[in-house]
Amino acid sequence: MGKLLVSNLGYPRIGFDRQWKKCLESFWQGSLDQEQFFKDMKDLRIANLQKQKDLGVDWIPVNDFTFYDHVLDMAAMFNVVPKRYQNLSTAPVSLTTYFAMARGTQENVACEMTKWFNTNYHYIVPEYEQGVELTLTHNKPLEAFLEAKQQLGINGKPVIIGPLSFAKFSKGNYGTLSKYVHKLLPLYIQTLQELSAAGCDWVQMDEPFLVVNITNEDMELLKHVYQEFKTAVPKLKIILQTYFDSLENYEQIIQLPVAGIGLDFVHGYKENLKSLETFKFPEDKILGLGLINGRNIWRCDLMEKYKLIQKIFQFVPAERIWIQPSCSLLTTPVSATGEKKLAPFLRNSIAYSDEKLVELKHLADACNKGLDSVTEFFNEAAAALKDLEDERLKIKINFSLENLKSIGIERSESFESRFEKQRASLKLPLLPTTTIGSFPQTTQVRSARNKFKRGALSSEEYEKFIKEQIEKWVRIQEEIGIDVLVHGEFERNDMVEYFGEKLVGFAFTSNGWVQSYGSRCVKPPIIYGDVSFKEPMTVKETVYCQSLTSKPVKGILTGPVTILNWSFVRDDVPRNEVSYQIALALRDEVLALEAAGINLVQVDEPAVREGLPLKKIDWSDYLDWAVKSFRLATCKVKPETQIHTHMCYCEFQDIIQSILDLDADVISIETSRSHGEMISAFEKFKYSKGIGLGVYDIHSPRIPSKEEMSDVLTRGLKVVDTKLFWVNPDCGLKTRTEDQTIAALKNMVEAAKEVRERLIK
């Protein structure tokens, strides 16, 4: 039997100590010049490659590293640059232009940002404009290939987003998808020809859209494109890589003129295995066997994976199999070696990116050298998973999906009835203004929180500091003229981790960082067991805030589906069961806020859309339990208590009915980053409850003018009932500076007043 090889699809770019984030932010702040920026980034890139080489990966990905986002890299490489940025530099796509597309400038808004399939990673949406000449500005995959070869002797596997998927990621006035792909095709061919000439053997062409419902026209286009590749670069071997679900059109795609096909045997396990059993696998191709879950942090059942490999051997011999993660390790932390504070049962049962590559290496050894060669490692993993199971039993609660049937999920009165009572109680003006929840997490705020966690600041000192910050921002909000205030969330490190720390069933890492967007990294909590409520989590700070002002204050919570989707979740029970447990725990918090006199409660659900399954056939089941989870958490309040929710940076058009079904009194939703396109969805769908269409993009440092925001409001009022309309930014303000926040909010309030006065006249 031939040798089984280990392949990786992509490695986390952020570094073990988030060096990537720190380098980026230092450069943006001007404390790092461009030459040092390039050097530091190269050092990290080389270190990432060296580590994979040391861990025994046979096919190491290159070109998976980026200065911001890999989709943005492709846009820059092909000059898919909107005209509004083209006066920033004489170079085709300078670093200034690149970061302007990602973050915006004071003169120009950033490109749209949206979720990478059903993950919490955000990519920059390429914008094509007529009149912009597409050209290969630089061959980034070639540069990455040569660097790895020259610096480390690695014959790497360049990772490139395939033309069909890149086109589908894009937006703009490019005509039909086919026309756009044909504009891109010569640039792809040039890229591949230069790689082949440099001695590159394999290219990983990522086509993740092949697991989504693709059309017959897409399929014909795909056949044409890959035949063109085969003709233009006959010696270069392409592995067509898919992930996140099972392959659509399996029988046709396996006939494409490529040298390999990568399939996800974790999230697409059943259907991909069924396709393999039914249609077999071509004898002239490599199978990329996505064996290890690239999106979660649990050690795998190695014997179960070994048995799966043996099953696959019935269809494909070992010498034509690469075992690999189910997807890029982009959304998995770097290494678990830093997790010294986790309880032993958890520390021993997790596997971050490095540990997943070690698992793959041992599975390859088990097949290549025999099970005896890996007995100790296999036994250790099995014992760790058994310890985890035993600990879960210790916090088991009396919960089942069956007993949910006896718990109602309906508000006691209709929205129309609630609306009148809330209007009478709150006495808010037309177009009330508010914010989403968080205010700037300054160096001072982060320092105080870190000191408190280290014990360098007492509970009394820390509480005094938090109260000072709350009072400071209450006064700022009052001075600006905001109608509904928030306390600012200064005590919260993260909108999910904070709540997890106060609920049973969660654990927290020291170094489990993953990239969310740009330099923004998050540290998802671990849901390892049954979830339950312990004690109030937000009441103290919210009530204190309310005591400082006569204006209404919103309590701010993170919703059950978002907590679920932004955590590393146990994989031994269904996800909907975990979501319901979180919802019931949050219900206690919502009622505690209400009992304390807080009659506006915002339960944020930005991750509902991102968790949507990729295949439409699976949507209804997911949306059913997602809606039920939200309503479980919020339905027991009095009619006078106004329930808000918030969503951002996703394409919500497909789930507007489910958003309405949440039965929230008010939803705030992003519209600015998508350049107001979300508003058009409400031209087709009559939304009958309160809604705030975010009037400016908080992820960009630019401060939009009052006139810009007035334009967004004016357009929104054409499709939303005036008496239901709220005015707010499109997300929380924790990443902005104090000056940026105050200036933008002043413009927002002035815009609201101006439009309000026009309406009253």
Please determine, for residue 226, whether its predicted confidence score (pLDDT) is greater than 70: yes
pLDDT, residue 653, reads 72
Cα separation, 250 vs 239, whole angstroms: 15
Annotated binding residue 738: no
Provide the 3-class DSSP secondary structure of residue 507.
strand
Cα separation, 202 vs 195, whole angstroms: 9
**Secondary structure element (H or E) that encloses residue 520, with its range:** strand 520-522
675 falls in which pLDDT band (50, 70, 90)? low
**Secondary structure element (H or E) that encloses residue 262, with its range:** strand 260-264
Annotated binding residue 120: yes
Which candidate, 377, 349, 388, 414, places its Cα nearest to that of 639? 414
Q: What is the CATH number that goes with domain 415-760?
A: 3.20.20.210
Q: Which of 122, 487, 644, 699 is catalytic?
A: 699
Annotated binding residue 436: yes
SS (H, E, C) 160-223: EECHHHHHHHCEECCCCHHHHHHHHHHHHHHHHHHHHHCCCCEEEEECHHHHCCCCHHHHHHHH
Told to judge if 122 belongs to the known catalytic residues of this protein, a careful annotator would answer no
Annotated binding residue 665: no
Q: Helix 34-54 and helix 19-29: axis angle, to 10°?
A: 170
C-alpha distances (whole Å) from 326 to each of 243, 568, 681 are 6, 16, 34
pLDDT, residue 408, reads 81
Please determine, for residue 650, whether its predicted confidence score (pLDDT) is greater than 60: no
Instruction: Give the sign of the dihedral formed by CA 300, CA 303, CA 304, CA 307.
Output: positive
Task: Output the six-digit token pair for 365.
Answer: 């050894």
Is the overall model pTM greater than 0.85, yes or no?
Answer: yes
The 10s digit of each residue's pLDDT in 1-32 is: 589 999 999 999 999 999 999 999 999 999 99
Please provide the average confidence, as pLDDT, over all residues in the chain: 93
Arithmetic mean of pLDDT, 650-670: 84
The 10s digit of each residue's pLDDT in 488-500 is: 999 998 888 889 8
Tell me if 255 sits within 8 A of 281, measured CB to CB.
no
The 10s digit of each residue's pLDDT in 58-81 is: 999 999 999 999 999 999 999 999
> Nearest 5°: CA angle at 461, between 460 and 466?
95
DSSP, residue by residue, 49-68: HHHHHHTT-SB-EES---SS
Task: Output the six-digit token pair for 577.
Answer: 């069961």
Annotated binding residue 171: no
**% of the chain exceeding 90 in pLDDT:** 81
Annotated binding residue 489: yes
pLDDT, residue 65, reads 98
Tell me if 334 sits within 8 A of 293, measured CB to CB.
no
Q: CB-based contacts of 644: which residues, under 8 Å, 6+ apart?
A: 554, 600, 601, 602, 603, 664, 665, 666, 667, 668, 690
pLDDT, residue 46, reads 98
Task: Output the six-digit token pair for 157.
Answer: 């596997």
Please determine, for residue 679, whether its predicted confidence score (pLDDT) is greater than 90: no
Beta bridge partners of 727: 433
Annotated binding residue 670: yes
Task: Output the six-digit token pair for 260.
Answer: 């390999």
Which candidate, 267, 236, 201, 223, places its Cα nearest to that of 58? 201
Which candidate, 164, 246, 148, places its Cα nearest to that of 198? 148
The 10s digit of each residue's pLDDT in 395-434 is: 998 877 777 777 889 999 999 999 999 999 999 999 999 9
The 10s digit of each residue's pLDDT in 157-192 is: 999 999 999 999 999 888 899 999 999 999 999 999
C-alpha distances (whole Å) from 210 to each of 204, 245, 610 are 15, 9, 18
Cα separation, 502 vs 504, whole angstroms: 7
Please determine, for residue 694, whether its predicted confidence score (pLDDT) is greater than 60: yes
pLDDT, residue 90, reads 66
C-alpha distances (whole Å) from 455 to each of 444, 466, 525, 583 are 16, 16, 22, 32
Q: Between 147 and 672, whose confidence is greater?
A: 147
Annotated binding residue 698: no
Annotated binding residue 570: no
Cα separation, 578 vs 696, whole angstroms: 34
CA 501 from centre of chain: 21
Annotated binding residue 245: no
Annotated binding residue 520: yes
What pairing do the DSSP bridges indicate for beta strands 113-115 and 122-124? antiparallel
Window from 69-78, 216-225, 457-466, 716-725 with minimum mean pLDDT:
716-725
Cα separation, 108 vs 517, whole angstroms: 19
Number of Cα atoms under 13 Å in the Cβ half of residue 665:
27
Task: Output the six-digit token pair for 396.
Answer: 């088991």
Q: Between 132 and 273, whose confidence is greater?
A: 273
Annotated binding residue 438: yes
Cα separation, 146 vs 11, whole angstroms: 18
Task: Output the six-digit token pair for 405.
Answer: 């049937």
Tell me if 679 sits within 8 A of 716, measured CB to CB.
yes
Beta bridge partners of 515: 521
pLDDT, residue 203, reads 98
Provide the 3-class DSSP secondary structure of residue 532.
strand
Tell me if 644 sits within 8 A of 425, measured CB to CB.
no
573 φ, ψ (degrees, to nearest 5): -135, 160
